[in-house]
Amino acid sequence: MSYVAENILDNLNTAIVLLDNELKVLCINPAAEMLLGVSSNKITSQPIIKLIEDPELLASIKDTLDSNHPFTQREKNLQLHDYPVIVDLTVQPIQSDSSAKQLLIEFNQLDRHLRITREENLLAQHETVRALLRSMAHEVKNPLGGIRGAAQLLERELSDVDLTEYTQVIIEEADRLKKLVDRMLGPNALPNRTMVNIHSVTERVRSLLKADKIHDVQINFDYDPSIPEIEFDPEHLIQAVLNIVRNAAQALSEQTETIDADGQEKIKKITIRTRILRHFNIGQKYYRLAAKMDIIDNGPGISKQMQERIFMPLITGRAEGTGLGLSIAQSLISQNGGLIECQSRPGKTVFSLLLPINNS
């Protein structure tokens, strides 16, 4: 393959798989690596069945090789590893320079557009909530300041020292409400962005979690060493990851089910996994490279209704929760141009931090 052709393939958003006349993989482009969850080095020269396990689709691919007639399937549901995708796919025969027949498979992922729309809605929701909170903070903090000041003046006029106990209650509660409003607003300072290795951040989180003494939860790390440094505020990233991991650990600790489906004692696990993404959109903004950090736990999961509101302030599914941890985490990541997504079902909850990598 010429350099120009290879460069074009590498920069296509369409996932491309090229097969030989024995239905073995000759090459796949980066978009296909990302879609199918496999590296080119591992799958090259392997039979297509190692990549696609759908018997109906495999039979259609073989028919195309035998008949020399292309075919297209619309809105095809593909089960890849532990997640499904919806694609339009086309399989067409091509003739190589050596006259040996080859097959070109094109995958156009449809749920990618649905994800971008969902992310745009999530970003819009976050901005709306932030605007509402800023307006509410102004309306709440002004009278709180007046109440506190009046209580201080009243305290000076009281001749009975015992009565100052009540003015102190007013002052302390006014201060507490002000702090709550400030926490709901999240950080006001602009992010202090610097080039940072996200694995140095996760290792910092690892050391902080040891201090938390989460004894009954097993925490695993699965790193992709190919991720380059990103321009991000490291303190923001550390705080966001800590908030999510601590939430997951608390959900696991409160879980009453201790036996799994096989009758074995259930191991409570959190996995922090990093991966590189190519040709990726965060909302409507395109990035040639992005980093993805998944925080995965095997807890009870989050209800569908709760998932739609999980990043809103004061929304929590725990009796003792404040409902601010995830809201603050989303604010910290979005200030740096990233986004947090959540997918959950019983036994598996995934918070995905999507982090932009400089396009230069």
If asked whether residues 73 and 123 sit together in one domain, one would say no
If asked whether residues 345 and 242 sit together in one domain, one would say yes
Of 185, 217, 240, which residue sits at a domain end?
185
If asked whether residues 322 and 351 sit together in one domain, one would say yes
* Spatial CB neighbours of 86, under 8 Å, sequence gap ≥ 6: 75, 76, 77, 78, 109, 110, 111
Q: Contact 68/93 with Cβ under 8 angstroms? A: yes
What is the Cα–Cα distance from 8 to 105, expressed in whole angstroms?
16
If asked whether residues 178 and 248 sit together in one domain, one would say no
Global pTM reads 0.60
Domain that holds residue 216: 194-356
If asked whether residues 222 and 247 sit together in one domain, one would say yes
What is the Cα–Cα distance from 190 to 45, expressed in whole angstroms?
50
Q: Contact 276/230 with Cβ under 8 angstroms? A: no
Alpha helices in the chain (DSSP H): 3-10, 30-36, 40-43, 55-67, 111-157, 164-185, 198-212, 234-253, 304-307, 325-335
CA distances for 161 relative to 165, 167, 279, angstroms: 8, 10, 69
Of 185, 206, 240, which residue sits at a domain end?
185
Tokens of 42: 């591992």
pLDDT, one tens digit for every residue, the chain (360 residues): 556 667 788 888 889 999 999 999 999 998 888 888 888 889 999 999 888 888 889 999 999 999 999 999 988 888 765 567 888 899 999 876 656 789 999 998 886 666 667 667 766 776 777 677 677 777 777 788 888 888 888 888 888 878 888 888 888 888 888 777 776 666 666 788 999 999 999 998 888 887 766 667 888 999 999 899 999 999 899 989 998 998 888 888 877 666 666 666 778 899 999 999 887 778 778 888 899 999 999 988 888 878 777 777 666 655 555 567 788 888 888 888 888 888 888 888 999 999 999 754
Q: How many domains does the chain have?
A: 3
If asked whether residues 14 and 58 sit together in one domain, one would say yes
